[in-house]
């Protein structure tokens, strides 16, 4: 199974299920339905199932067969993906063919359908089954747009039942009713009220659409239903029967709408070349996107914060079959599945992990965690705090093949067209020259002069770290760290730092991203050493301090020596022979 990672957090989910007593409808068991997927592929679809794990032995005993390793893992947790998988659309397209309408006297509809009643038409509806390819984005609480491709397919379900009046008899008059015709005349797809696709009537219409130059839209599935009934009136005149036939017709428009956002990427690249020959690449655009490849073989790639899972639309777990006398819920034979995109705790990543591109910067909009939008029985590594949307990602790599550059979106099959800016896409990336020296000192403190210049031209580098955005602008961000301080240089490229502890001090230049500067610079460092003994005054202060500290010891030594002479025995060598 390609491009998927399995998050095995099985134990925690099982405990949660047991404690809360979650009960959900079970999706189809992998391998039991022929919907164009393998057992492994269909096992990954059901992120909204209860994940009530059973052992291989229990499974074999219950179903009389073994399951694959992927099926076993998916039974106890959810499977996430690095890229939007095709499995959801494949399943939905094939499962849609199992959706059957009722007859003229029975209407079949999902519980969430909006029903319309007329005089003869009852329980009529047109309900959107799925729009694909698409991805439901989980951006933050209250914001979960459905992104769809500009050229896709909407599938829907239309049904109704006909109420044929009962016959009646009064005196010599008898009235009877019969159904002569009923049909779905036409099905239309509208965008903000304008018809963009239509076809002849069908209970299960699939409408291909093409939408251009729109950011968001409201799509409406609309169907026109008509019926024709025959009313026969018989009047018994004794020697003859007068028969009068009339026809009654009725039409009903039914509809269902969904808010969508068009997902059509245009990516904007920026390039740089490091002094050692490495390539710098940054790509940004204004919507969530998956990542990009840097080489023709696709091995070197980088992705942002977004990851994916697939889950069914639970509105279609059951269907209602309604006739003139009663209605009953039945298990649905057709279940739509959608791809969902969410911000992952894993965050931006580059591949290959060890020797692939090096992510150097990301930027975007800060958003709150969308964990509340996920719903029950979803076990994924979603962020649980504020995150950055990574609308832009910059990397450093040994090589970037501009002709092979491929930018992928969060909707399957959507790759961005790379728009080369007219000017400013190339960034000069130069070496910087950082120096630091002691310019003033005494026995208690020293003043350091830090200077930053362009190594190529000698021009001073002025720093201003107040900028917020990495693309464009005239000021230069970045800073220098030294002695646990963060400083910026002035217009002359100089910063003054005061220290009061002896030691070796290393200054390091942290340049702002090359995305917003031209020319841009790479980091540099320099070292200075300061100790009070480096000055004559320092030596004098040291000697004075040492002498002052030794005075008590000298006094004690002198006093001890005098006491020994006063109280001790006389030297025997001083006696006469």
Per-residue pLDDT, 429: 87
Per-residue pLDDT, 10: 33
Q: Nearest 5°: phi and psi at 367?
A: -130, 155
**DSSP assignment string, 153-165:** EEEEEEEEEE-PP
Write the DSSP symbol of residue 344. Answer: B
Which CATH entry fits the domain spanning 428-534: 3.40.50, 2.60.120, 2.60.40, 1.10.260? Answer: 2.60.40
125-147 CB burial, b ≥16 within 10 A, e <16: bbbbbbbbbbbbbbbbeeebbbb
pLDDT in tens, the chain (577 residues): 444 433 333 333 333 333 333 334 578 877 777 788 999 999 999 998 888 888 888 888 888 888 888 888 888 889 999 999 999 999 999 999 999 999 999 999 999 999 999 999 999 999 999 999 999 999 999 999 999 999 999 999 999 999 999 999 998 999 999 999 999 999 999 999 999 999 999 999 999 999 987 889 999 999 999 999 999 999 988 889 999 999 999 999 999 999 999 998 888 888 888 888 899 998 888 889 999 999 888 889 999 999 999 999 999 999 999 999 999 999 999 999 999 999 999 999 999 988 889 998 888 899 999 999 998 889 999 999 999 999 989 999 988 888 888 899 999 999 987 877 665 577 778 899 999 999 998 878 899 999 999 999 999 998 875 544 455 544 567 899 999 999 999 999 999 999 988 889 999 999 887 877 778 899 999 999 987 655 555 545 545 556 667 677 666 766 776 666 676 655 544 444 4
Q: Nearest 5°: phi and psi at 465?
A: -95, 25
Q: Nearest 5°: phi and psi at 153?
A: -135, 135
Per-residue pLDDT, 569: 59
Rg (CA), the chain: 39
What are the sequence ranges of the domains in the chain? 4-164+178-223+254-262, 266-307+342-426, 428-534
Task: Say which residue the tokens 């220098």 belong to.
Answer: 480
Write the DSSP symbol of residue 48. Answer: T
Write the DSSP symbol of residue 370. Answer: -
The residue count of the chain comes to 577
Nearest residue to 360 (alpha-carbon basis) of 387, 393, 392: 393
Per-residue pLDDT, 573: 45
462-481 CB burial, b ≥16 within 10 A, e <16: bbeeebeebeeeeebbbbbe
Residue 552 has a CB neighbour count (10 Å cut-off) of 9
- d(CA 168, CA 493) in angstroms, rounded, equals 102
| Contact between 339 and 412 (Cβ < 8 Å) | yes
Q: Model-level pTM?
A: 0.79
Biggest CA–CA distance in the chain, Å, is 189
| Contact between 165 and 125 (Cβ < 8 Å) | no
Task: Say which residue the tokens 């509208």 belong to.
Answer: 190
- d(CA 107, CA 122) in angstroms, rounded, equals 8
């Amino acid at each position: 199974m390609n491009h998927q990672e399995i998050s095995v957090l099985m134990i925690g989910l099982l405990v949660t299920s047991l404690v809360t007593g979650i009960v959900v409808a079970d999706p189809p068991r992998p391998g039991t339905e022929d919907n164009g997927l393998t057992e492994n592929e269909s096992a990954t679809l059901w992120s909204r199932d209860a994940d009530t794990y059973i052992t291989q032995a229990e499974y074999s005993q219950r179903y009389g067969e073994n399951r694959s390793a992927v099926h076993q893992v998916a039974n106890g947790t959810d499977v996430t993906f690095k890229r939007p998988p095709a499995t959801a659309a494949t399943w939905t397209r094939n499962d849609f063919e199992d959706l059957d309408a009722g007859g003229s006297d029975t209407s079949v509809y999902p519980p969430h359908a909006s029903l319309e009643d007329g005089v003869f038409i009852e329980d009529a509806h047109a309900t959107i089954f799925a729009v694909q390819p698409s991805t439901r984005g989980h951006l933050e609480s209250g914001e979960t747009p459905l992104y769809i491709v500009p050229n896709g397919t909407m599938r829907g379900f239309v049904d109704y039942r006909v109420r044929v009046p009962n016959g009646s008899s009064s005196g010599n008059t008898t009235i009877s009713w019969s159904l002569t015709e009923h049909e779905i005349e036409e099905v239309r797809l509208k965008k903000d009220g304008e018809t963009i696709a239509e076809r002849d009537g069908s209970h299960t219409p699939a409408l291909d659409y093409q939408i251009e130059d729109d950011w968001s839209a409201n799509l409406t599935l609309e169907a026109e239903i008509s019926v024709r009934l025959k009313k026969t009136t018989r009047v018994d005149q004794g020697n003859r029967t007068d028969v009068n036939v009339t026809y009654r017709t009725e039409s009903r428009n039914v509809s269902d709408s969904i808010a969508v956002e068009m997902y059509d990427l245009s990516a904007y690249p920026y390039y740089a070349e490091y002094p050692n020959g490495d390539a710098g690449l940054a790509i940004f655009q204004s919507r969530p996107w998956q990542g990009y490849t840097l080489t023709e073989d696709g091995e070197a790639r980088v992705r942002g914060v977004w990851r994916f899972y697939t889950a069914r639309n639970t509105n279609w777990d059951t269907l209602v079959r309604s006739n003139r006398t009663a209605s009953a819920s039945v298990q649905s034979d057709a279940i739509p599945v959608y791809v969902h995109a969410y911000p992952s705790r894993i965050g931006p990543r580059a591949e290959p992990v060890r020797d692939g591109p090096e992510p150097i910067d990301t930027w975007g909009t800060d958003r709150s965690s969308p964990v509340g939008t996920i719903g029950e029985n979803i076990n994924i590594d979603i962020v649980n705090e504020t995150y950055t949307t990574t609308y832009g990602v910059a990397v450093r790599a040994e090589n970037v093949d501009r002709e092979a550059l491929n930018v992928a979106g969060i909707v399957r099959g959507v790759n961005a067209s790379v728009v080369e800016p007219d000017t400013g896409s190339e960034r000069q990336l130069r070496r910087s020259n950082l120096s630091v020296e002691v310019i003033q000192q005494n026995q208690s403190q020293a003043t350091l002069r830090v200077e930053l210049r362009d190594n190529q031209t000698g021009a001073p580098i002025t720093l201003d770290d107040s900028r917020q955005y990495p693309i464009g602008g005239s000021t230069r961000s970045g800073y220098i760290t030294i002695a646990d301080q963060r400083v910026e240089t002035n217009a002359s490229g100089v910063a003054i730092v005061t220290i009061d502890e002896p030691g070796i001090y290393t200054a390091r230049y942290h340049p702002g991203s090359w995305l917003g500067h031209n020319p841009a610079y790479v980091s540099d460092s320099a070292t200075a050493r300061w100790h009070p003994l480096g000055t004559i005054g320092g030596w004098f202060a040291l000697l004075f301090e040492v002498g002052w500290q030794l005075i008590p010891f000298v006094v004690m030594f002198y006093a001890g020596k005098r006491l020994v002479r006063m109280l001790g025995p006389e030297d025997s060598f001083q006696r006469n022979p």
